[in-house]
Amino acid sequence: MKRRQFLSSSAAALAATAALLHWPARAFAQAQTPEVRLAMPPLLDTRTTGRLSLQAQSGSRSFLSGAATPTAGFNQDYLGPTIILKNGDLAAEVANALKVPVSAHWHGLLVPGEHDGSPHLPIAPGESWQPEMHIAQDPATVWYHSHIHERTAEQVYFGLAGVIHVTDGDDDARGFPSAYGVDDLTLVLQDRRFDDAGRMVYNPSMMDVMHGLVGNRLLVNGQAGATAVVPQGIVRLRILNGSNARVYTLFFDDTRPMHLVATDGGYLQAPIALDTLTLAPGERVELLVDMSDGGAPVLMSDPDQPYGVLPFAVDASLPARIARVPEQLDGVLGDLAGSEVETREVSLEMGMGGMMMGSRGFAINGRPYDMARIDFAVAQGTVERWHIRSTMVAHPFHVHGVRFRVLSENGAPPRPENTGWKDTFLVPDEAEIIARFDQPARHETPYMFHCHVLEHEDAGMMGQFTVT
Ligand code: C2O
Ligand code: CU
Ligand code: CU
């Protein structure tokens, strides 16, 4: 929601106050140990080597004070490193030290189907996968995760995911914070379900599959109850909703604005000051937040039923390099409207009746996902307009291999969050997108399009297409 609307809404203001008052009582109450400082994932900078080496491995982590949970991660126990990429050649190697097949899908990288890491590119236990990639895209915050059909939800849940920064090295000229973990924070939001012993569990019931599995604790970068410590200046937050199903509506408890500067696929043309921001599974945003008042705001979610996501604290001894939010940005959004050669209907379906009768009822255009079926073929280099419908609930819709623009949502112009380049967005009842399909995907390694509620995806709300 844009700033003016929000401030004029007394209900929302009340909710923010309520959030503050009820903070310690919420189910997500943080700060058992408020002095714990939020850590960033380790950095894996590929810019000088042109090489990227990941290993999917098992681990164990005690997330809360209680028992340890068996986990999985890339190069570590849980989650993976933050990878920095620049345009050019990238020789990747992904090894699998687990006992089950995994894949490494680069969600948001514009690479051909054979490099995409889809369910058609499983890495067997003990094997490795070596895509020789070429990166050529605008700076963006993208991510990677395992994508084995019917196993994606569980594998991501236990840790097989990480963030990627595609950078062109010009952020200093843009006046953007760029010191990793100092004024440029990477935040992976994940809710997880913990049992009484403090173990993270994944045991979705039929209702969980229906609604998507939501947790009872919130982790940021795999940590519960940590505080982000930042300099007294402008801070950049790169936020990934890495949850299986939870949709966040983020806001600060003191109503300070969040300046949206980038969406999934790149920068905007100018920052948009927002008071609330909806972020569905798979989506990323980059925000600039002014911390120069030295305050200690809490990032919250859901004005209607507020809960804490991440408390902030200022450390004035940290270098504050940026003092103001730039007025203009250099994102190039282009205008695809009018050049489409094809329109398609995509209906995201979950049939209650089908579920009751034992079939799961999750489908797109009446057909559950089938690895052996190509749903349609796109002509490479052409523009298409897709009309997407959600049934029963709003579904976060994602397409591999492209970035798209949202033309409309329920017949109206898109929300501010959806005005930039996107690869994933929440489809209310219906929406239209437009994209040019430049990257190729052959029959053997097609691109996926699916709901990013991972339980829905695994249950069949996914399809696949070629680009030739
Ligand atoms: Cu983030 Cu097909 O996935
Ligand atoms: Cu993807
Ligand atoms: Cu869905």
Query: Is residue 108 within 8 Å of 402, Cβ to Cβ?
Result: no
The per-residue pLDDT for 1 is 66
Query: Considering every ligand atom, which ligand is closest to the CA of 146?
Result: 1
pLDDT for res 352: 63
Identify the DSSP state of 102: B
* E-only strand ranges, 195-318: 200-201, 217-220, 228-230, 234-241, 248-252, 258-263, 266-274, 277-279, 284-290, 298-301, 307-314
Gap between the Cα atoms of 130 and 360, Å rounded: 36
The rounded Å distance from CA 238 to ligand 3 centre is 24
Q: What is the Å distance from ligand 2's center to 180 Cα? A: 24
Ligand 1 atom at minimum distance from 450 CA: 2
448 alpha carbon, closest ligand: 1
Question: Residue 18 has what pLDDT?
Answer: 43
The full 3-state SS of 41-66, as one line of letters, equals CCEEECCCCCEEEEEEEEEEECCCCC
CA of 332 to the centre of ligand 3 (A): 30
Contact present, 391 and 348 (Cβ < 8 Å): yes
- Å from CA of 463 to ligand 2 middle: 12
Cα-to-chain-centroid distance, residue 346: 22
Structural domains in the chain?
Answer: 43-168 (2.60.40.420), 174-314 (2.60.40.420), 340-467 (2.60.40.420)
What is d(CA 108, CA 116) in angstroms, rounded to the nearest whole number?
Answer: 10
Q: How far is the CA of 256 from the centre of ligand 3 (A)?
A: 32
Task: Specify which residues 61 forms β-bridges with.
Answer: 69
pLDDT value of residue 65: 83
Decide if 441 contacts 231 (C-beta within 8 A): no
pLDDT for the residue numbered 360: 67
Contact 163, 240 (CB under 8 A): yes
Q: Whose CA is nearest to atom 2 of ligand 1?
A: 448
- d(CA 44, CA 32) in angstroms, rounded, equals 31
Strand order in the sheet with 376-378: 376-378, 462-467, 447-451, 395-399, 424-427
Ligand 1 atom with the smallest distance to the CA of 143 is 1
Q: How far apart are CA 109 and CA 265, in angstroms?
A: 9
CA of 1 to the centre of ligand 2 (A): 26
Looking at ligand 1, which atom is closest to the CA of residue 145?
A: 1
Q: Report every protein residue that has its C-beta within 5 angstroms of ion ligand 2.
A: 107, 400
- Confidence at residue 169, expressed as pLDDT on a 0 to 100 scale: 96
pLDDT in tens, the chain (468 residues): 676 555 445 444 444 444 443 333 334 444 444 579 999 999 999 999 999 999 999 999 999 988 999 999 999 999 999 999 999 999 999 999 999 999 999 999 999 999 999 999 999 999 999 999 999 999 999 999 999 999 999 999 999 999 999 999 999 999 999 999 999 999 999 999 999 999 999 999 999 999 999 999 999 999 999 999 999 999 999 999 999 999 999 999 999 999 999 999 999 999 999 999 999 999 999 999 999 999 999 999 999 999 999 999 999 999 999 999 999 999 999 889 899 999 999 999 997 654 544 456 899 999 999 999 999 999 999 999 999 999 999 999 999 999 999 999 999 999 999 999 999 999 999 999 999 999 999 999 999 999 999 999 999 999 999 999
Distance 231 CA to ligand 1 centre (A): 34
In the prediction, which pLDDT does 26 show? Answer: 38
Ligand minimally distant from the alpha carbon of residue 390: 3
Q: Quick one: CA torsion of 157, 202, 429, 439, rounded to 10 degrees?
A: 30
**Parallel, antiparallel, or unpaired: how do β-strands 395-399 and 258-263 relate?**
unpaired
Atom of ligand 1 nearest to the CA of 282: 1
Nearest to 421 by CA among 325, 328, 327, 336: 336
Instruction: For the chain, give the longest Cα–Cα distance.
Output: 62
Residue whose CA is at the smallest distance from ligand 1 atom 3: 107
The C-alpha atoms of residue 431 and residue 440 are separated, in whole angstroms, by 25
**Which residue owns the Cα nearest ligand 1 atom 1?**
107
Question: Residues with beta carbon inside 6 Å of ligand 1?
Answer: 105, 107, 145, 147, 282, 398, 400, 448, 450, 452
Number of Cβ atoms within 10 Å of the Cβ of 246? 22
Q: Say how far apart CA 145 and CA 54 lie, in whole Å.
A: 12
Query: In a 3-state reduction of DSSP, which class is residue 369?
Result: coil
Cα–Cα distance measured from residue 412 to residue 418, given in angstroms and rounded to the nearest whole number? 12
Q: Which of 245, 320, 253, 329 is nearest to 286 (CA)?
A: 329
- Where would I find the H helices in 362-442? none
User: For residues 55 and 75, is the Cβ–Cβ distance under 8 A?
Assistant: yes
Check residue 351 and give its pLDDT: 77
d(CA 427, CA 451) in angstroms, rounded, equals 10
Both tokens of 136, joined, read 């050529």
φ/ψ of 152, rounded to 5, equals -60, -45
